[in-house]
Structure 1
Amino acid sequence: MATLAFNHEEIAARELRSELYELDGISRAAVEAHYKLYEGYVNKRNEILRKLAEVEVSSANQVYSEIRALKVDLTFAIGGVKNHEIYFAHLGGGGGDPEGAIATLIERDFGGVAGWRADLKATGMAGRGWAWTAYDWDE
């Protein structure tokens, strides 16, 4: 039986900064709920990688196969891990509207901050609950 040839290390959820529980505008319960989601993504990522270490590579198929399903779910789990790590790192920042070059691009592409926020929120709701604003250097 041939299996995937990769090594992985399990990760653990990072500890929260204690000041996140005292922020204005977000309750302790909301912070704890997001942290619980984060822990779930970390655990699911580790579980999927353990399963991938055992999967038979000859069963790979683009319509359905265990390896395909696991790889799709792995991208979602890792996205959830990284999304929450960035989320927790930015909580408690100064906030405010974008400034500088990104503000100019938002104005150009969305007609302003209100249009950008509406588009970002709709994108998050239409997807799996989160969306990113990114800049493509090639376009």
Structure 2
Amino acid sequence: MTKLTRRFALAGLAGASLIGAGLTGRRPAFAQAAEGPFKLDPLPYGYDKNEPHIDAQTMELHHDKHHASYVEKLNQAVSGHGELASKPLQEILANLDSVPEDVRKAVRNNGGGHANHTMFWQVMGGNGGTPSGDLAAAIDRDLGGFEAFKTAFNQAGADQFGSGWVFVTVTGDGALALTSRPNQDTPLMDGQLVLFGNDVWEHAYYLKYQNRRAAYLDAWWNVVNWEMVAERYAAARAGTLTI
């Protein structure tokens, strides 16, 4: 799950209304994607897996509508640019200056959105708690211990003006750092690796939390999948982590 796959069809709703659609236990339904090199992986769990902290309707809208739109628009942007379309997403994002100017903004926004959300679904669907092993040791070493790190992470997310993300970056030797980015920007654009992060766009939380971003940030820790984050950490150190 640390590599972007291209085998899955684009997510889509099955024609039913989201409101009152009976989402409990449902797995994402997929329709054939529009032509293009980038595809949307299905969620690795049901829409309700993060309940009650992240509601099922938000998960369905967020994945099947918002993320799907980024993929569609990214494919539209690279269409007609064969060399660009053949490159891995992380390579494109790390070299935005080389992207043709007429599509650079679209690639930045939608490529960043695709990368960010692909990571996001991976690191949720867990039971929260605390990390262990090498990951926990790195947090203690580089981020002041788990509780201090959580406080700083939540504050960075709360302080992000408007839409954006809060991230933990990781180097090849395992060093961690906390950072935030506006809109769908990502540390990948600076040649860095992303360990994990949280989405603070309103569409990530508004149905349940309305304007209470701080409450969402606090609740989100209950759904972090620390086993997956640890896998991403090991992949970074092994040189295999992509997006």
Q: How many residues align?
A: 121
**Does 2:59 align with 1:26?**
no
Q: What is the CA–CA distance in structure 2 between the aligned matches of 1:127 and 1:78, rounded to whole Å?
A: 19
1:44-55 paired onto structure 2 within 5 Å: 44-50=73-79, 52=81
SS for the counterpart of 2:112 is helix
Measured against aligned partners, the alpha-carbon deviations of 1:54-106 in whole angstroms (never above 9, x if no partner) come to: xxxxxxxxxxxx92362354143223213222322333223222222222222
> Residue 117 of structure 2: which of 64, 80, 84 is its match?
84
**Does 2:135 align with 1:135?**
no
Task: Give the Å deviation of 1:38.
Answer: 0.5
Residues 104 and 15 of structure 1, relative CA distance in 2, 3 Å threshold: closer
Identity %: 25
> Residue 141 of structure 2: which of 89, 97, 108 is its match?
108
Residue identity matched to 1:129? G
**Does 2:126 align with 1:99?**
no
Q: Is the 8 A contact 1:123 1:131 kept in 2?
A: yes
* RMSD over equivalenced CA pairs, Å: 3.3
| TM-score between the two structures when normalised by the length of structure 2 | 0.40
Q: Is the 8 A contact 1:41 1:77 kept in 2?
A: yes
Q: What is the CA–CA distance in structure 2 between the aligned matches of 1:10 and 1:135, rounded to whole Å?
A: 27
| Structure with the higher fraction of residues in strand conformation | 2
Residues 127 and 115 of structure 1, relative CA distance in 2, 3 Å threshold: farther
Residues 133 and 22 of structure 1, relative CA distance in 2, 3 Å threshold: closer
| Structure with the higher fraction of residues in helix conformation | 1
Task: Give the Å deviation of 1:17.
Answer: 4.9
Q: What is the CA–CA distance in structure 1 between the aligned matches of 2:149 and 2:123, rounded to whole Å?
A: 19
Structure exhibiting the larger radius of gyration computed from Cα positions: 1
Residue identity matched to 2:114? V
Gaps of at least 5 residues in structure 1 are 1-7, 54-65
SS for the counterpart of 1:130 is strand
Gaps of at least 5 residues in structure 2 are 1-34, 83-98, 176-243
**Does 2:77 align with 1:42?**
no
1:46-85 paired onto structure 2 within 5 Å: 46-50=75-79, 52=81, 67-68=100-101, 70-85=103-118
| TM-score between the two structures when normalised by the length of structure 1 | 0.64
Task: Give the Å deviation of 1:22.
Answer: 4.7
